[in-house]
Structure 1
Amino acid sequence: MPDHDTYDRLISLLDSSGVGYTFIDHEPEGTTEAVSALRGHPVSEAAKCIVLRVKVDRRTTRHVLAVVPGDRRVDLDAVKTLFAARYVGFSDAGTAERLARAVPGTVLPFSFDPALELVADPDVVAQPRLYFNAARLDRSLSLAGADYERVARPRVARVAVPAGV
């Protein structure tokens, strides 16, 4: 079950960090392509957030929040290599909602759960402006990629490939 204070927690974090951000209110939408059109920016400037299950060995499972540009997809093999894992796959919806504290389509590129490790592709943090749903389907945020990196403190690693690959 999502934690209903995720939005407030995000705003509090950004405000206390002193970063500049912009709200963008829009029709409720959770798919990257459609919400990017509503916000009026290229899909490549969106942060696509995917919760992954990473089996390091038979007894150790980690959960990773991979953040990639909106026009790309997560490279599961790259994540597997990054974590020296045996298996990487998409997390089930219940686990993803519990760890991300948000429903699908509203997952933030931030982690508020120590059990959810944050990894961002370098092309995400390099964006002059980065856009994402703010734990709500009807409101998004925009902030500089460098500010995102400073506040979210993701592990930065190449984890994205073009969508058609």
Structure 2
Amino acid sequence: MEVHDQLRALLDEQGVTYKLLRHAAEGRSEAVAAIRGTAVGQGAKALVCRVKISSNKRANVLAVFPADRQADLDAIAQACGGKKASLASRELARELTGCEIGAIPPFTFNPDLELLVDSTLGQRYEEIVFNAGRLDASILMRADDYLRLVAPRTAPFSSERAAETASEPQAAAARS
């Protein structure tokens, strides 16, 4: 079953009220927010990270945070009890989520992918919105329903975005 269908089945099974939004295919936070007619900060952005726990142990983490903020990889590593975190490759992200980068919802259906949600998610907006396993469909739902449903581990790991500069290409990748 495709991630989009798994996600909708889960929400339906749990009796969660949500709105399915169909739109032009888009995976960039600012662009898809404009298409959806929502604030960028309502977006629940999901990054697949690899966290080095020890010299021979790694954890795969789906880090979810408001799309108008930037992820701090060091804080993600610390929240997971690790030493260092990095973004997963496109191939690993696809393997762990079943989705292309930009379409990954803030849910994990893979036991090898731990969920970590930034403690600011849901604090500014009653509703969150996210790509629903596809670049051409999003789900809008109450933030408290999301948090109740996934019962995530939470930690502060995002901050307000700083202006991008040409000297920070890796940091820019964590922000986009």
**What is the TM-score when the length of structure 2 is the normalising length?**
0.88
Amino acid at match of 2:159: V
Residue of structure 2 aligned with 1:38, choices 12, 31, 35: 35
For 1:156 and 1:17, how far apart are their aligned partners in 2? Answer: 22
1:48 aligns with 45
Secondary structure class of the residue paired with 1:51: strand
State the shift of 1:77 in Å. 1.6
Q: In the TM superposition, what is the alpha-carbon distance from 1:21 to its structure 2 partner?
A: 0.1
User: Which has the larger displacement, 60-69 or 148-157?
Assistant: 148-157
Q: 1:12 aligns with which of 4, 9, 14?
A: 9
Q: Which residue of the partner structure matches residue 159 of structure 2? A: 161
Could you tell me the percent identity over the aligned residues? 36
What's the CA shift string for 1:70-107, capped at 9, x where partnerless?
10111112112112212111011111111111111100
Determine the C-alpha separation between the residues in 1 that align with 2:59 and 2:100: 20
Query: What 5-or-longer segments of structure 2 have no aligned partner?
Result: 164-176
Aligned positions, number: 162
Partner of 1:105: 102
| 1:25 counterpart residue number | 22
- Report how far residue 113 of structure 1 moved: 0.3
Q: State how far apart, in whole Å, the 2-side matches of 1:78 and 1:57 are.
A: 16
In structure 2, what is the Cα distance between the partners aligned to 1:87 and 1:99? 19
- Displacement over 3 Å in runs of 4+: none
Q: Which amino acid is 2:128 matched to?
A: L
Question: Take 1:5 and 1:84, find their aligned partners in 2: how far apart are those partners?
Answer: 32
Q: CA RMSD in A?
A: 1.2
Task: Name the residue aligned to 2:86.
Answer: 89
Deviation of 1:153 after TM superposition, in Å, equals 2.1
Residue in structure 1 matched with residue 59 of structure 2 by the alignment? 62
Q: How far off is 1:41 after superposition?
A: 1.1
Q: Distance in 1 between matches of 2:122 and 2:113?
A: 19
The one-letter amino acid of 1:156's match is: T
TM-score by length of 1: 0.94
